[in-house]
Structure 1
């Protein structure tokens, strides 16, 4: 059965005069069962007034088109949600009716509600991390700063160690927040100039003597803020795992499909470590949290895309993001 469950019907004076055969797959009715019936009787009571009003209001407006979200009863008596596009073809001698092209979006609606609940839980988690962990951490840091002013010798070394560990906790909190938010499914997008976002991210990261090269322009629909975060984590990964001197990081369009890549001229990531690279907490850097590439993967997947890791042309790490893996407009329709 097609992912897009659609059917056509024609209506004249509220009576169904034609139904496409696909209605049987979508609603469970044979076309002959619906032909001659009053269309409003199959519409949810709460939606009937709006549909009836519009059908009567535009009955003399030949060529009028409109789009509706309406609940329709199927053969099992259950209500399914449809997006219906209506076109007034009453003056067309071959039709003489209002034609409705209806697409079943019931699963899309359920998926959307599920994702909204998931995003709410992630927001709650982020709030707990931000408030309940940061407050005692700030108190500890403040007290330790006061203590540091009155110690010396071995005690000073101990205070330095504690300060480093508290700093690491702060890093973990920041990355945990970013990880929680990065997994939220992208529902609102803008047209994004990827090169401009990459340059901004580069300026936000301490990249030392490394250099950025931006190649072919890529414009796509995405969440600019999260794409900025994605690039920042990719750039940090390159700089922190390579000697920044003479390191070049390149961002450009993929040659054979719609997407982009980020590639560095460093030492690369061994093949046996690539599957683990995106795991939460996995790191080869003693001071790292291991969340950076996990955040990258979450942001990519939240857009409905896919990310892969391979060798770059110069032996460094190459991250490829295929933006047509799951089209953006379909990502909330998957059951």
Structure 2
């Protein structure tokens, strides 16, 4: 069996040898959540086939079925999907079966009954699917942090490490098992612990900043002491403090790496700010929609919940891309601008919009990153200029090898042109705020300068200069290969 990601249109697999009950349960589930796909099968063999081919967000299974029991089915599922929600919904209930089910790790145990039991099942499935989705999104969020490559830690409300990543373990020299459950004074000096606590009090105060930056002394396991910058923020909370998260930066080689450290600090602040601010909005929207959906059962609230999750998923995808495009490009090749532009245009699905390629220039670039640069600029132009927008790729007059991307949309006000490349800044209410930031990072990774001006048609014009020259021989070979 293969793993499948949970899609925005969640699905439930229901296994029961009673077709009438399957039909009734499907009716209850889809009435409560209109976009829910319910796969109803009458035996375990069919269920395993569905798992092998379809994304499933929750399993509902009978206990007593021909050829197998629900708990035997659970054990099979757990071999491949250890975290997939599994609810045992059976008419053969007993304390013995309930105890066995709980010990086997079922997500929920319910006895069959009338309409009230079906409503309980609907609520339990809804909760399980949302929890499973949150777990997947949390894993993706962790992937973003790991992609940054910085030592990351989480301290719980009791003042003990609850999470440290591999980079943190490498920095301090302790095993993960030694760190989790220990207090920060295991690796921080008393003075540093006092400074962190003071900064944390500022962060959680109503008038304080969301993030504090503190220089701390870290005592490694081998006895050496290194100076780090600790970027610390409180975990989101309502009434009770839940703890804090921090990212460490090693400053021991600060003089030799001063310029690089300054650049990465700016990137880190932007990303932590996005994590602290921008992701709260879709998370809050999802929580509010989930609460209303649970209370009212209205389809519009489930639709709002789906939209919030889709926006969060899009933001996480863009944030991960942003983290990965931060490093300078070291391998380039001769790429013709028409080839890269037209390949990117196909991915945007522009409907009736028009692409005009008015140059045959060849630049030295990472082909995938250049295509992503075009893709983001094209998507931005179509989003703001409409389905009939015209986008032009041409040669920059100010640079022998530079190029530009221009559109005929509404353009960008001069007062906003200095901020649109910052992560989290969007001129659209449904934008992620990362598209142009990724464009800027890709240009910077190549050593290019990008300037935003007004196009000849009054829209936006992005001009890229400083591109590496391509000699005639390489240009000819590149054109021939295209």
Q: TM-score range by the shorter chain?
A: 0.5 to 0.7
Q: Does structure 1 residue 196 correspond to structure 2 residue 311? A: no
1:170 is matched with: 313
User: Would you say the 8 A contact 1:305–1:323 is kept in 2?
Assistant: yes
Name the SS for the 1:275 alignment partner.
coil
Using the TM superposition, give the Cα deviation of residue 256 of structure 1 relative to its aligned residue in structure 2, in angstroms: 3.1
1:213 is matched with: 356
1:273 is matched with: 416
Deviations 1:302-321 (A, max 9, x none): 00010000010111110000
Name the SS for the 1:235 alignment partner.
helix
Distance 2:425 2:469 in 1: 30
Using the TM superposition, give the Cα deviation of residue 188 of structure 1 relative to its aligned residue in structure 2, in angstroms: 0.8
Name the SS for the 2:385 alignment partner.
coil
1:312 is matched with: 455
2:391 is matched with: 249
Name the SS for the 2:312 alignment partner.
helix
**What TM-score does the superposition give when structure 1 sets the normalisation length?**
0.52
1:228 is matched with: 371
Q: Which structure would you say has the larger RCO, counting Cα contacts within 8 Å and 6 or more residues apart?
A: 1
Change (3 A) 1:256 1:289: same
Distance 1:203 1:168 in 2: 23
Using the TM superposition, give the Cα deviation of residue 289 of structure 1 relative to its aligned residue in structure 2, in angstroms: 0.9
User: Would you say the 8 A contact 2:315–2:432 is kept in 1?
Assistant: yes
Distance 1:171 1:294 in 2: 15
Using the TM superposition, give the Cα deviation of residue 264 of structure 1 relative to its aligned residue in structure 2, in angstroms: 0.5
Please show how residues 50-89 of structure 1 align to structure 2 within 5 Å: none
Distance 1:206 1:285 in 2: 19
Using the TM superposition, give the Cα deviation of residue 155 of structure 1 relative to its aligned residue in structure 2, in angstroms: 2.0
Name the SS for the 1:220 alignment partner.
strand
Distance 1:243 1:163 in 2: 25
Distance 2:340 2:469 in 1: 21
Distance 1:238 1:183 in 2: 23
Name the SS for the 1:186 alignment partner.
coil
Name the SS for the 2:419 alignment partner.
helix
Deviations 1:9-57 (A, max 9, x none): xxxxxxxxxxxxxxxxxxxxxxxxxxxxxxxxxxxxxxxxxxxxxxxxx
Deviations 1:138-158 (A, max 9, x none): xx9xxx9xxx9xx99852111
User: Would you say the 8 A contact 2:364–2:469 is kept in 1?
Assistant: no
Using the TM superposition, give the Cα deviation of residue 173 of structure 1 relative to its aligned residue in structure 2, in angstroms: 0.6
Name the SS for the 1:251 alignment partner.
strand
Using the TM superposition, give the Cα deviation of residue 244 of structure 1 relative to its aligned residue in structure 2, in angstroms: 2.0
Distance 1:152 1:313 in 2: 54
Distance 1:301 1:327 in 2: 17
Name the SS for the 1:241 alignment partner.
helix
User: Would you say the 8 A contact 1:306–1:323 is kept in 2?
Assistant: yes
Structure 1 range deviating more: 225-234 or 275-284: 275-284
Give aligned pairs, total. Answer: 197
Q: What is the RMSD of the two structures over their aligned residues, measured on CA atoms?
A: 3.6
Distance 2:362 2:469 in 1: 15
1:299 is matched with: 442
Deviations 1:71-97 (A, max 9, x none): xxxxxxxxxxxxxxxxxxxxxxxxxxx
Using the TM superposition, give the Cα deviation of residue 280 of structure 1 relative to its aligned residue in structure 2, in angstroms: 1.0
Name the SS for the 1:276 alignment partner.
coil
User: Would you say the 8 A contact 2:411–2:458 is kept in 1?
Assistant: yes
User: Would you say the 8 A contact 2:337–2:359 is kept in 1?
Assistant: no
Using the TM superposition, give the Cα deviation of residue 254 of structure 1 relative to its aligned residue in structure 2, in angstroms: 1.0
Runs of 4 or more, structure 1, over 6 Å off, are none
